[in-house]
Structure 1
């Protein structure tokens, strides 16, 4: 795929999302595309298909001032390296629920990362479900907030090494999974057994959620 660096492509991402732009770099598990405004860092696992753009499609792309990439072009890129480089940078990420999340990465663990959102506060995001990451350009702030509204250390929680153990640590807490995409992903964690989370809903009914399909977690 590296032979196509410098060519214009169109990609379909999991969730029926489409992007067009210049293929800037390809790593072992990550592609970088410049869409004319931003660098998009896209995990390879979520690229459903891609094709070359036709000339008239290329002509439709508007280019502004190219932002500075967050990684070293001289090194082999990867998702983990990119997430590490993005720590503390205001960033847009997309995981689920047809909505992007805006904030910044606090910490990167074995199979998830900790993200601070001004809307949802401290969140735990499964690495395997991250669809893309777009670092903000210089001087941008999510929701027009100033730095005093965006704490450097927003949580006193100690983070577990794995996503599954982090969820176990929230036993008995009221939480929201997958950004609350339906009423069956909000409630109190009662137990975790055989890769399923037992969640007690508002009506005190148990729902059993497959750990493999939990994409985000945040406390209410």
Structure 2
């Protein structure tokens, strides 16, 4: 039986639900793979890979990268290590349904990351919902902002972005319990039923009050990202 490790250096096709990624498989760890798609190094948690195969369509082949990934020499390739390695590196995190966040991982916790976006500010992103991440090179910054344009909380950023300057809890559900009584935006706010006043978190459910006063309960396990505006 073919596994991803035996396909290293080959042109492959990975199916992630409705999304397909073609490229050269550069590395494979126990729960994550690295694909070069001709332009970017994409780190894809295996949790979201439905199936994979050698790419038989030569029209989809990509050229080999001219330089190695910034993380090419990682001793241990797994999701948590890649997330920790990405801290303070300009990164794209894609959580599905055309929703990507651009900015910096500031902290990695048990089941979520704290992520700083120059536009959305602090975001909590569920690790299980990260479909892929793309760390950019050290000379890149979001929206071409320079370091002095980036800030987190009350502190200016000097070397990219610093960890959050207030304590966060290690588990997402516990952290959200602390946010009760605040306005929240779930999953980018594309669905109006995911924007409202967070009433409480209980039994893996988030109860929120919508703009017109209706109450709705959302399963936490299906929530990809949380913003506290």
Scaled by the length of structure 2, what TM-score is found? 0.88
C-alpha separation between the residues in 2 aligned to 1:56 and 1:153?
Answer: 44
The 1-side partners of 2:41 and 2:163 are apart by 27
> Could you say which residue in structure 1 is the equivalent of 2:154?
none
Query: How has the CA–CA distance of structure 1 residues 97 and 118 changed in structure 2, closer, same or farther, with 3 Å as cutoff?
Result: farther
What do the CA deviations read for 1:51-79 (whole angstroms, capped 9, x no partner)?
21126235x42456324332524x23100
Alpha-carbon deviation of 1:134?
0.5
2:156 counterpart residue number: none
- What is the aligned residue count? 217
Cα deviation, 1:196-218, whole Å, max 9, x if unaligned, reads 11101111110100011111001
Deviates further, 62-71 or 125-134: 62-71
Q: Deviations over 1:161-214 (max 9, x none)?
A: 101011111000011011112001111111122221110111111010001111
Tell me which of 158, 162, 166 is aligned to 1:157: 166
**Is 1:208 aligned to residue 217 of structure 2?**
yes
Match status 1:121 vs 2:130? no
Give secondary structure in 2 for the equivalent of 1:95. strand
Alignment of 1:1-220 (within 5 A): 1=3, 2-14=5-17, 16-54=18-56, 56-57=58-59, 60-63=61-64, 65-73=66-74, 75-151=75-151, 152-153=161-162, 155-220=164-229
> Residue 55 and residue 210 in structure 1: after superposition, are their counterparts in 2 closer, same or farther (change >3 A)?
closer
